[in-house]
Amino acid sequence: MAGVLDRLELGDHVCWTVDDDEVRRDAIVSVLADGVSEHHKLIYAGDEPAAVLAGLGRRGVATRALLESGQLWAGTPEGSYLAGGGFDPEGILAHWHVGKARARAEGYRGMRVVGDMNWARRQVPGADRLEWYEAKVNTVFTDGYVMGVCAYDRRAFDPMCLRRLALAHPAAAGPVLPFDPDTSLRIRRTEEPYGLWLSGEADMSNRHALAAMVDEALLSGDEQPVVTIDVTALRFADTAAARVLLDAARRGRMHIVGCSPVLIRLLHFHGAASIRGLVVAAGYPT
């Protein structure tokens, strides 16, 4: 099924539910192969590293040279997510931040990470914290250097479990739902002004990812007087997204700027005017 993940960019973090082994392998190989010419660091962590390497080889990718140079790493969960004998989400988060810094220092233009997540269905210590991890790992992606695909086999996971995991991702793709940046949420960190830039659609389907990132911005901005949420490129937001923003605004000074008239009305309907220090504006406040 070519095209499922073709529109991914650095900074995207996607929950991909799949129910066909051939489709899964082919799409994973495509995501990694497309990063070779871009000089991206390529990482595959899952149960089938040999199959992924073989697939790359069939596409003419010089896997041995990439493995030897360090541009490509392909290994099992036991060598990545479960390296300590169980799943340690805080440790894995630290690992990704260190790995990202190392990739930058080595001159790579970005990182592509594919996690084949079926290991989470085993009796693994710490696997019950996967939902928390998927929300918190969004901090790895907001500077636009890393692309992440989390592949979940919907034949192996309970539908309600999959639903909760999807909520922790800004974007999703599925068997009949290719990744679409226009209807997904993209979140990027900004420095001037300090805060976040949002594009696409913020709604019930990605509210946990949005909440995690807004919370992170508040916690990281101790020396910043205001967290600015730029929604100029946000084409849609629902009540769930509005409540996430307003709940955060009650815990720290916030400017929500670039609002459409519809979003302004929605935020005020849910009590924006009563929150001290909150500015809701169509443009940037002066």
What is the average pLDDT across 225-236?
Answer: 94
Per-residue pLDDT at 97: 95
Q: What is the mean pLDDT of the chain?
A: 93
pLDDT tens sequence across 144-185: 999 999 999 999 999 999 999 999 999 999 887 889 988 999
In terms of DSSP bridges, do strands 227-237 and 110-116 run parallel, antiparallel, or are they unpaired?
A: unpaired
Contact between residue 226 and residue 255 where contact means Cβ atoms under 8 Å apart: yes
pLDDT tens sequence across 74-130: 999 999 999 989 999 999 999 999 999 999 999 999 999 999 999 999 889 999 999
pLDDT(2) > 50: no
How sure is the predictor about 1, in pLDDT bands with cuts at 50, 70 and 90?
very low
260/282 Cα distance (integer angstroms): 6
Cα–Cα distances (Å) from 254 to 156, 211, 277, in that order, read 41, 14, 7
Look up the CATH architecture of domain 13-173: 3-Layer(aba) Sandwich (3.40)
Please provide the size of the chain in residues: 286
What residues does each domain of the chain span?
13-173, 185-280
By the 10 Å C-beta count (0-12 exposed, 13-18 middle, 19+ buried), 183 is classed as: middle
What is the average pLDDT across 5-21?
Answer: 94
Q: What strand order describes the sheet that includes 185-191?
A: 185-191, 194-202, 227-237, 254-257, 278-280
Closest CA to 251 of 282, 199, 209, 216: 216
What is the average pLDDT across 242-257?
Answer: 96
Contact between residue 282 and residue 270 where contact means Cβ atoms under 8 Å apart: no
pLDDT tens sequence across 35-69: 999 999 999 999 999 999 999 999 999 999 999 99
Structural class in CATH, domain 185-280: alpha beta
Per-residue pLDDT at 84: 87
Any idea which residue has 């990470």 for tokens?
Answer: 113
